[in-house]
Amino acid sequence: MLALRNIGSPAAVDALAAGFSDDSASFKHEIAFVFGQLSSPHSLPCLLEVLKDGSESDIELRKFSAELRLQMFYHISRSG
């Protein structure tokens, strides 16, 4: 996971995003955390899907995804 973070390419983001289909809540939290470290605009659609997923029962993951999305939007709008 950290190697993909260090690569930081859109393909690396996609590889990390695939992990959101895992059953482990802690694994999904780690992916969201790494997305936060990346601050890649490429991860925004995936984070939005996590938020829209009504079957995602982990409210903390949904909350974290929303916070990351807002932080990235703020960062992008200030730097753009």
pTM here is: 0.72
Sign of the CA dihedral 58, 32, 15, 40?
positive
How far is Cα of residue 67 from the mean position of the Cα atoms in its chain? 10
Mean pLDDT of 71-80: 67
Of residues 33 and 8, the one with the higher pLDDT is 8
Length of the chain: 80
- Residue 13 near residue 38, CB atoms below 8 Å: yes
Phi, psi of 78 (to 5 degrees): -80, -30
Mean pLDDT of 55-65: 70
Domains contained in the chain, number: 1
